Structure 1
Amino acid sequence: MAEPRRPLGGGGAGGEGLGRSRGGFTTKLHLSAGGRCRPLSLIVTPGQRADCTQFKPVLERIHVPRIGRGRPRRKPDSLATDKVYSNGPCREYLRRRAIRHTIPEKTDSQIARLRRWSRGGRPPGFDEERYKNATLSSEPSTD
């Protein structure tokens, strides 16, 4: 029996971001939002796709139109994320693009770094107050 053809435009399970994960047949939404909880970019992937692999594509899709003339902004002033993005490649990408960031360090990474004493390097800068303010300011206001 011949396999059914996918619809034009890439629809079907692959085009819809459906995939298998521990929870079953799922989809993941990778989203970046501004300080007022307005979406800036969105990527839909199958459920088994790792979050950190979509970090760069989500940030590269940010296009904030300018008021008046000029190209849209493509770089946020600062970024606050959760521990998922605490790995070296994500931090290096942010440094290369000169984006200020606040990312908490994973506990296992912290333990491994401390175990190496002075060879473990210095901890990544993390301002807990700035992280709290960034996550609190992203909640919708009731004004």
Structure 2
Amino acid sequence: RVARPGPGRPRTRPDRVVADKGYSARKIRAYLRRRGIAATIPERIDQINGRIRRGKARCRLDRTAYRRRNVVERCFSRLKQNRALATRYDKRAVHYQAMVTLACLRLWLP
């Protein structure tokens, strides 16, 4: 769920899904297409070769959206350097959320 800036129900469908090659499958792409969600997923080499054999064009990849995914992945990597977050020692969700908040503050503050 994504909260709206004003009044109204929260959104339950994202505008775009950005994923790596591990999620490049026909079923996943068909599911996203059915729900009206844009997919930014690079194709695996076997899928590219299959398209070339069938004489079809390759899927287009929005490179700017895919590059922004790298920023998120690096942020998760930096957060996982905190041992309490990587192994999830906390039993309660509130304590884990507090630990995530503290780790984010440590990243953002000099």
The TM-score with structure 1 as length reference comes to 0.46
Residue 69 of structure 2 corresponds to residue 131 of structure 1: no
Q: Tell me if structure 2 keeps the 8 A contact 1:80–1:135.
A: no
Distance in 2 (CA, whole Å) between partners of 1:112 and 1:67 is: 44
Name whichever structure is richer in helix by fraction.
2
Structure 1 residue 103: Cα displacement: 0.1
Identity of aligned residues (%): 38
Q: How far 1:137 sits from its partner (Å)?
A: 4.1
Q: TM-score, normalised by structure 2?
A: 0.57
* Deviation string, structure 1 residues 41-61 (Cα, Å, up to 9, x no partner): xxxxxxxxxxxxxxxxxxxxx
Question: Structure 2: which 5+ residue stretches go unaligned?
Answer: 76-103
In structure 2, the residue corresponding to 1:64 is in which secondary structure?
coil
Q: Do residues 71 (structure 1) and 6 (structure 2) align?
A: no
CA RMSD of aligned residues (A): 2.2
Instruction: Find the counterpart in structure 2 of residue 105 from structure 1.
Output: 43
Secondary structure of 2:9's aligned partner = coil
Listed as ranges, the gaps of 5+ residues in structure 1 are 1-62
Q: Distance in 2 between matches of 1:86 and 1:77?
A: 18
- Residue 39 of structure 2 aligns to a residue whose secondary structure is strand
Distance 1:139 1:70 in 2: 33
* Greater strand content: 1
